[in-house]
Amino acid sequence: VPTTVQRLEAAVISRGAAVVAKVDHGAAAQANGLALRPTVLVLFGNPKLGTPLMQSEQTAGLDLPLRVLVWQDAGGVTQVGYAPPSLIAARHGITDRDDVVGKMTGALKAITGEATAR
């Protein structure tokens, strides 16, 4: 998980976006005496892509910046997941930003692909 998170952050930065926050759910659980396999949420974005969605519907800010969850599954394999930008647009009734949604989708695929490349 740590290696994948590092690769993910590097892929985000190399594309001109910024890592906004990193939430280490596993460490927080452990600090409170709870067991949780490694689980890290990385929030990142580029206002040039996110802002147009919020211009269409400000409630999109509930789901932005974009986020990717990196976790270790029960079999010890590192997994990566995210909500597709099309789901974010649909959740907020955004129908006039297909170009932005497409760019976000491509960026997420490229970033997570780079992060998970062996």
pTM of the predicted model as reported, rounded to 2 decimal places: 0.95
What pLDDT is stored for residue 11 in this prediction?
Answer: 97
pLDDT at 99 over 90: yes
How far apart are the C-alpha atoms of 109 and 14, rounded to whole Å?
Answer: 14
Condensed to tens digits (0 to 9), the pLDDT of residues 56-87 reads 999 999 999 999 999 999 999 999 999 999 99
How far apart are the C-alpha atoms of 55 and 61, rounded to whole Å?
Answer: 10
Condensed to tens digits (0 to 9), the pLDDT of residues 30-53 reads 999 999 999 999 999 999 999 999
Rg (C-alpha) for the chain, rounded Å, is 15
